[in-house]
């Protein structure tokens, strides 16, 4: 499957006929909210884990030097926390463009902090997209993150901002926090740039 998913998402139009849809964000959608929304609420989804297994050719890397960003991996029994946004369906045109590097809209059940649930959408980059990188150790992921940057900025900022946002939500994510530790160590060991 092509890593540009705009056409595929438009063709599928999942939930796009509804006036309003709940969107579950688990990566940059938590902390980089550049889209209009009607309401937001911390939420979680069951059976999925957040992993830095997706390549980024367009935001935090380039096709030659892809960065690493998060996707969701099926993981029975796991709970992935994030932020849900109630958005008007028209917002998906903008979101599809932002998430075009391999992410497809998929239906998901989400649970809000008060225990109520809703069916909505999350963006998932599956193993069959061309930008997918797959598993690696947290140290290897940290090294790749530290040498990657793209039109949206440093890959390390994506990781560090996500770790901060998860902590602010009171969430623990051992995978993300271990990569954060390694990234901070690598950055601290780098010689200071002159000028």
Q: Can you state the percent helix, strand and coil of the chain, rounding each to 5?
A: 30, 35, 35
Kindly state the smallest distance separating residue 105's Cβ from ligand SIN, in Å: 11
- Contact call for residue 55 and ligand SIN (CB under 6 A): no
Q: Is residue 123 at the binding interface for ligand SIN, with CB under 6 A as the rule?
A: yes
Give the Cα separation of 69 and 155 in Å (integer): 8
Residue in 153, 152, 157, 151 with CA at minimum distance from that of residue 187: 157
Structural contact between residues 72 and 129, judged by C-beta atoms closer than 8 angstroms: no
Residue with smaller CB distance to ligand SIN, 32 or 136:
32
Burial label for 40, CB within 10 Å (0-12, 13-18, 19+), is middle
Catalytic residue among 20, 99, 138, 180: 99
Among 3, 9, 21, 28, contact with ligand SIN (rule: CB under 6 A): 28
Counting every residue written for the chain, the total comes to: 195
Of 9, 21, 27, 84, which one interacts with ligand SIN (CB under 6 A)? 27
- Determine if 99 is a binding residue for ligand SIN (CB under 6 A): yes
Which residues in 61-80 contact ligand SIN (CB under 6 A)?
A: 69-70
Question: Residues 21, 25, 156, 182: which binds ligand SIN (CB under 6 A)?
Answer: 25
Segment contacting ligand SIN by CB under 6 A, of 14-22, 24-32, 106-114, 143-151: 24-32
Q: How far from each other are the two terminal CA atoms of the chain, in whole angstroms? A: 44
Active site residues: 99
Residues that bind ligand SIN (CB under 6 A): 25-29, 69-70, 99, 123
């Amino acid at each position: 499957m092509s890593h540009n998913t705009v056409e595929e998402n438009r063709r599928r139009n999942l939930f796009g006929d509804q006036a309003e849809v709940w969107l579950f964000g688990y990566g940059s959608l938590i902390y980089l909210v550049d889209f209009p929304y009607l309401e937001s609420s911390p939420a979680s989804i069951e059976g999925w884990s957040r992993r830095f297994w997706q390549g980024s050719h367009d935001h935090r890397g380039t096709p030659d030097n892809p960065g690493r960003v998060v996707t969701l991996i099926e993981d029975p029994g796991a709970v992935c926390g994030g932020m849900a946004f109630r958005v008007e369906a028209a917002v998906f045109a903008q979101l599809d463009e932002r998430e075009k590097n391999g992410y497809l809209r998929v239906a998901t059940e989400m649970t809000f902090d008060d225990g109520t649930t809703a069916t909505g959408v999350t963006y998932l980059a599956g193993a069959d997209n061309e930008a997918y990188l797959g598993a690696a150790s947290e140290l290897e992921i940290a090294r790749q993150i530290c040498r990657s940057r793209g039109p949206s900025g440093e890959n390390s900022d994506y990781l560090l901002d996500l770790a901060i946002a998860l902590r602010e939500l009171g969430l623990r994510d051992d995978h993300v926090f271990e990569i954060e530790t390694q990234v901070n160590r690598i950055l601290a060991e780098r010689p200071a740039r002159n000028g």
